Structure 1
Amino acid sequence: MTLNVTNLILSWGAKKNIRLIPSQSMLRQRNDENFESWCCSDSDSYFIVRQSCWPGWFMLEFQVNLLDEREHERARFYYSSERSYLQKERSFVLPFQSGKMQRRIVRLPRVRLARFDPMESAGHFAIRHFALKPLLPSFARDRMSWRLARLYGRTQLEVLQVFAQQASQQSDVSRDDLLYQAYDASFEQRARSGISYQQWITQVELPYLAAMRACMRPTSGILFSIIIPVYNPKPVFLQQAVLSVQRQYYSNWELCLVDDASTRSDTRDLLRRFAEADARIKIVFREQNGHISVASNSAASLASGEYLVLLDQDDELAEHALWAVWEALQSNPRAYLLYSDEDKLDETGRRYEPHFKPDWNPALQLSHNYTSHLGVYKADLFRQVGGFREGVEGAQDYDLFLRCLAALDQPDQQIVHIPQVLYHWRALAGSTAQAASQKTYTWKAGLRVLEHYLQLTGQQAVVEKGLLPNTYDVRYALPESLPKVSLLVPTRDGLEVLRRCVESVLNKTTYTNYELLIIDNASQQVETLTYLDDIQQDARVRVLSWPHAFNYSAINNFAVGEAQGELLCLLNNDVEVIAADWLNVMVSHAIQPTVGCVGAKLLYGDGRIQHAGVVLGVGGVAGHAHKYYPSDHHGYFSRLKVTQNYSAVTAACLLVRKVVYEQVGGLDEINLQVAFNDIDFCLKVREAGYRHIWTPYALLYHHESVSRGQDDTSEKKKRFLAEMNYMRQRWRERLQADPCYSPHLSLEYEDFSISSAQSKNEDIAVGANHQH
């Protein structure tokens, strides 16, 4: 029995199939979407990899889907130059997350025998992908030094210099030997320090709750009214929902249950028993089924509390939910709307798939209802907007939130996020919790809800279905007279790169009112100078001269002074247009009065994500969200597919109104000549009261720092470290708590993985240079 998984490239251009031969303890299971699934019956189940391999550097790629309750595992790859395994020390560890493509560089001798152990323990899984791809040594060296630079807070040049110095003191190892040893050890370290959700519950949540209970004092403060509309529930799940309320640490609550004319006789009996056993439980039996909005309003009519708490009949509250809400209100007495993080429950009660949310993120909320659960509303506001609205069932919670939002005068202060998992959403067959696509009517209802919100707020926009179920694309109208955009492209030689950028802009961009300013930073090559002369024959193009030392901030500030546009687009010369309407999309956001900077979705030439928003604090300063993910990946809770607010976007493609640019003084050409100037600029703009937008609908390639090169001199290294330190001193508090991220997500990795204790260290390595 063999399994042909994918292609193994043995030499450039030659392809052969890898054959994975299961060991006797590896049991074939049911088919899973045309992929065979397997069961490891013990900890020593494996596949023999039937393929010889020449010596060299390789990228090992694999994707394993865990089909049981686990989220993380460790695989291993063993290899031998002999025809039998004598020892197992020739191996490397492969920590992975279920369903995600994993890649790591390996250096192999001539391999005669290899085996792949997909799991360290018994379990059920499916292999989606397995490949070995040869690499040039220079590429392998670059990727390894980049990873270590991130981990250790150094530049790539520093990393290479350290290992070169160490190698010079030893006669039997090279710089690349030591580099590979450190690279390999970093995976072992990650395997030891990785954290799953179950580990997070044990290591983070439970100690926090123990400390909370130790400090808790009885209070008779705010009365919370929990409202639950009921219709034909499974008795066991309704009991669990009610029990989760009765177990609350905070005791000043009432539970308002309304039966919406259930056809199951046991439902009414169960509700009566609840009310008889606990005086805090109120019940009403409707004679006619009115559906969820009407039933929810009936439950709310029973409420006498200052705040209403929404709970579905088969979901559960965390035991500390009401206490956490009460605490949040002590710090935010003006709060009208509160929401929390959440997770899911399977039918056995196992918690999984936590959603660690950002603080109030208006653009994300208009893209999908990310606030969702736990939802807490001030009762006066609920009544002011008329409660739940009929006719939008399937999106009634979304509709309520947006109508309340429209009624608020200072939403930034009146909407509060509680970064704790306070709601457990039960995933039942056919429920939205299990799969949004199972309820297509909710998508249509959501469109109507958003259209109503835009009408209420007087915004000129249309709503279209988003890229994923239950996501939306709000397209703001462009004025009849399009505002002029000045595209600012600094360059120095690198004609091939520049020509690709310029021609893609001129030939593909459908937005018509723009000028392209190329700022020549002392190009020397005759071909480049000739091209710059010729390209100005196009009336849309002007070439400006900056004959001084490279200073990205100064170059752009100079160009802004020459720009004729109302809008400025900072654009790298190594960017290439993909989506023809990229500028239309970005302008439609940038002209909104509350918007500061607008960023695009940028891809590497091989299709992986280069930029999808910037997360503050990753690596100590900032990192690119979802960097290296496949271009079609949904991202963390759809965040690669929806428009949203981020704290910063990269200046490789950044659009901003000229008046805003000038209001904050432009880029810092004194302290941040090359690196981090875009992050600093975005933070200044946010400090001035504007929010930044990242959109996946503006799509371009970014070939990243091709013309300027790497920080490969002592002077450049010194400059980079000074700029990094400046950022960490000036913006220390902001870098430690990004409101568009979550304190429970990693500051070590850019993949939205759950934070471990190590990733909370403020002195962790620098994650992204943010050089242009």
Structure 2
Amino acid sequence: MTAVDVFISPGSDEDEERTLAAFGLVRREQDRACVTPWREAVVRPEASHVLLLRAGDKVESGALEALSCFAQAFEAQVTTMNARTPFGVIHSPRWLPLLLEQLPYGGRAVLIEGGYAAKKLPQLEDSMSDWEILLRVTSEAERIVHCPVTAVVQATTTSMAAQADRPKLTRMFRAAQGRSAESVVLSSAGMPLVRHRDDASEHVSIIVPTAFASRRVDEATEVLVERLLRALVRTVEHDRWEVVLVVDETTADSAVTPCREILGNRLRVVRTSGPFNFSVAVNEGARQAAGDVLLLLNDDVEPITSGWMNNLLGTLARPEVVVVGARLLFEDDTIQHMGVVCPPGELPMHPRIFEVDDPGHPQAQADVPYLAVTGACLMCTAADFRAVGGFNEDLPLNFNDIDFCLKAGTDGRAVICVNSVRMRHRESSTRRPQITSEEIASLLPWQHSMMRDPHIEYRHW
């Protein structure tokens, strides 16, 4: 049997009464609630778990039983949950410390195992932001799980620390988990982002397979790869980089000439034979690339602002990261890619595709872990690319990027979508890929890995 102590941070008399009254309607005989500063709270010996609430918050019916039994079944020290806020229900992903170190991505309520709570409660001040409370409660926990139920109705939104305090708290959290934080910078939305300082000596090879397709852009018909190369010249601030242009063996030199005029000696041309196979093109480009770091770019992608390459490099240099990608937008500023969700038993999908991009939203600037990112913009080290055997050439069109990311992440390092990097992707929003049975079968060996996708509980958000 489980028993829960609910500790309510003091607030107004009205808010305290509201929380206690709601608790009285849903409590079990063995549960207890009291209003007390968290650092002064005393956990009953018979309490298996502790739930922290702010005055005004309400526990949903059946939540105490569901949460405590779930936590007990998984032997969790901390259990996170979904929450209803004044702006709607927050469907949180599974436990993601690399995301929590940037922002409180879910609700503020957490269920804490009784013994662990007795250790942590004296460290908590009611005046701390909800985010700081979450960081301190989870920083030393060895077993954290997410229970995908809406368990608490929050009277207010989850609070963030003052901007000036955010880098310090991120460093504190990472240090407690034994992870470094060489440099923490604030995004345009005020989110703390962990970056390792750009190594100017790194040589980046940008691999661009192309068939020199043309499209009408800004009232003129342009060759898309030429537009991409001009954008690279305009926006790349890193010193050492080259473009490896992968073309068919029958491509005329006249098609390549404008590219040479744009890039000069930064251009390397690689020719492949046979029917188009994206994996073959990428692998051959990587084989002939001179760079320490490889960046795959579709020829219909275009960087929007400068600074993006250093941002990707600074993220990739983190020891816990193996692959990085970017947020890609259609021409109408709707989302094309912000990571790939890989639900077991289903096809990989792009969350929030076709929704309007909101750069001011905190997660729209965050570094979000996924199992995979699209090969339209994918960066990794050349050493890691070779270590997993590159792209699977049996997958000429679809799922080769998914397969690569899943291979790269088998050692526990993260695949990150760097949302503060935005690129235009002129892929047609009406295009529907033709997926073969062989491509679907290629996902079967990865079903166990897909079970750990942190986003599958909210894949339709």
Indicate the TM-score class for this superposition, using the shorter chain for normalisation: 0.7 to 0.9
Alpha carbons of 1:326 and 1:700: their partners in 2 closer, same or farther (altered >3 Å)?
same
* TM-score when normalising by structure 1: 0.53
Whole-Å Cα distance in 2 between the matches of residues 368 and 710 of structure 1?
Answer: 35
Alpha carbons of 1:465 and 1:681: their partners in 2 closer, same or farther (altered >3 Å)?
closer
Q: Which of 332, 335, 340 is the equivalent residue of 2:81? A: 340
Q: Does 1:472 align with 2:191?
A: yes
CA contact (8 A) 1:493 1:525 kept: no
Q: CA deviation at 1:460?
A: 0.6
CA contact (8 A) 1:225 1:303 kept: no
- Matched letter for residue 694 of structure 1: C
- Matched letter for residue 318 of structure 1: E
Aligned to 1:680: 403
Q: Does 1:242 align with 2:52?
A: no
Aligned to 1:721: 436
Q: Which of 492, 501, 510 is the equivalent residue of 2:237? A: 510
Q: CA deviation at 1:477?
A: 2.8
Q: Does 1:322 align with 2:68?
A: no
Following superposition of structure 1 onto structure 2, how do residues 79-90 of structure 1 map, counting pairs within 5 Å? none
CA contact (8 A) 1:454 1:460 kept: no
Aligned to 2:169: 449
Aligned to 1:585: 311
CA contact (8 A) 1:256 1:302 kept: no
Gaps of 5+ in 1: 1-220, 259-294, 346-351, 747-751, 753-772
**1:34-82, Cα deviation, whole Å (9 max, x unpaired):** xxxxxxxxxxxxxxxxxxxxxxxxxxxxxxxxxxxxxxxxxxxxxxxxx
Aligned to 1:487: 206
Whole-Å Cα distance in 2 between the matches of residues 633 and 533 of structure 1?
Answer: 35
Q: Does 1:416 align with 2:157?
A: no
Q: CA deviation at 1:321?
A: 1.8
Whole-Å Cα distance in 2 between the matches of residues 404 and 441 of structure 1?
Answer: 15
Alpha carbons of 1:702 and 1:385: their partners in 2 closer, same or farther (altered >3 Å)?
same
Whole-Å Cα distance in 2 between the matches of residues 373 and 225 of structure 1?
Answer: 17
Q: Does 1:623 align with 2:349?
A: yes
Q: CA deviation at 1:304?
A: 6.5
Aligned to 1:393: 127
Q: CA deviation at 1:497?
A: 1.0
Q: CA deviation at 1:721?
A: 1.8
Q: CA deviation at 1:379?
A: 4.2
Whole-Å Cα distance in 2 between the matches of residues 305 and 483 of structure 1?
Answer: 55
Q: Does 1:312 align with 2:312?
A: no
Q: Does 1:647 align with 2:363?
A: no
Q: CA deviation at 1:330?
A: 3.5
Instruction: Tell me the secondary structure at the aligned position of residue 23 of structure 2.
Output: helix
**1:321-375, Cα deviation, whole Å (9 max, x unpaired):** 2212222234311x22111001136xxxxxx711111101223212211243331
The answer to which of 487-496 and 548-557 deviates more is 487-496
- Matched letter for residue 473 of structure 1: P
Q: CA deviation at 1:383?
A: 4.8
Whole-Å Cα distance in 2 between the matches of residues 243 and 605 of structure 1?
Answer: 51
CA contact (8 A) 1:233 1:314 kept: no
CA contact (8 A) 1:621 1:724 kept: no
Instruction: Tell me the secondary structure at the aligned position of residue 531 of structure 1.
Output: helix
CA contact (8 A) 1:511 1:584 kept: yes
**1:604-660, Cα deviation, whole Å (9 max, x unpaired):** 23333222222234994122222222333667xx53343211222111101112333
Identity of aligned residues (%): 23
Aligned to 1:359: 94
Whole-Å Cα distance in 2 between the matches of residues 505 and 386 of structure 1?
Answer: 51
Q: Does 1:522 align with 2:249?
A: yes
**1:732-761, Cα deviation, whole Å (9 max, x unpaired):** 566688422425x53xxxxx2xxxxxxxxx
**1:699-719, Cα deviation, whole Å (9 max, x unpaired):** 21111279xx978xxxx95xx
- Matched letter for residue 226 of structure 2: R
Gaps of 5+ in 2: 215-222
Aligned to 1:425: 154
Instruction: Tell me the secondary structure at the aligned position of residue 202 of structure 2.
Output: coil
Q: Does 1:554 align with 2:280?
A: yes
Instruction: Tell me the secondary structure at the aligned position of residue 510 of structure 1.
Output: coil
Aligned to 1:460: 182
Q: CA deviation at 1:399?
A: 2.1
Name which one, 1 or 2, has greater alpha-carbon Rg. 1
Following superposition of structure 1 onto structure 2, how do residues 154-193 of structure 1 map, counting pairs within 5 Å? none
Whole-Å Cα distance in 2 between the matches of residues 226 and 380 of structure 1?
Answer: 15
Higher relative contact order (CA 8 A, sep 6+): 2
Whole-Å Cα distance in 2 between the matches of residues 655 and 353 of structure 1?
Answer: 35
CA contact (8 A) 1:614 1:647 kept: yes
Whole-Å Cα distance in 2 between the matches of residues 474 and 695 of structure 1?
Answer: 10
Q: CA deviation at 1:585?
A: 0.9
Following superposition of structure 1 onto structure 2, how do residues 373-388 of structure 1 map, counting pairs within 5 Å? 373-384=108-119, 387-388=122-123
- Matched letter for residue 547 of structure 1: S
Whole-Å Cα distance in 2 between the matches of residues 326 and 522 of structure 1?
Answer: 63
CA contact (8 A) 1:339 1:376 kept: yes
CA contact (8 A) 2:340 2:351 kept: yes
The answer to which of 567-576 and 297-306 deviates more is 297-306
Q: Does 1:740 align with 2:455?
A: yes
Aligned to 2:218: none
Instruction: Tell me the secondary structure at the aligned position of residue 391 of structure 2.
Output: coil
- Matched letter for residue 514 of structure 1: W
Aligned to 2:219: none
Instruction: Tell me the secondary structure at the aligned position of residue 148 of structure 2.
Output: strand
**1:573-622, Cα deviation, whole Å (9 max, x unpaired):** 11111121111111111121221221111122333322222223499412
Following superposition of structure 1 onto structure 2, how do residues 746-765 of structure 1 map, counting pairs within 5 Å? 746=460, 752=461
CA contact (8 A) 1:309 1:376 kept: yes
**1:227-250, Cα deviation, whole Å (9 max, x unpaired):** 11224321xx43342233344465
Instruction: Tell me the secondary structure at the aligned position of residue 622 of structure 1.
Output: coil
* TM-score when normalising by structure 2: 0.86
Alpha carbons of 1:568 and 1:384: their partners in 2 closer, same or farther (altered >3 Å)?
farther
- Matched letter for residue 388 of structure 1: Q
Whole-Å Cα distance in 1 between the matches of residues 428 and 241 of structure 2?
Answer: 24
Q: CA deviation at 1:571?
A: 0.9
Q: CA deviation at 1:723?
A: 4.3
CA contact (8 A) 1:574 1:705 kept: no
Alpha carbons of 1:523 and 1:310: their partners in 2 closer, same or farther (altered >3 Å)?
farther
Whole-Å Cα distance in 1 between the matches of residues 321 and 180 of structure 2?
Answer: 17
Instruction: Tell me the secondary structure at the aligned position of residue 264 of structure 2.
Output: coil
Whole-Å Cα distance in 1 between the matches of residues 137 and 387 of structure 2?
Answer: 32
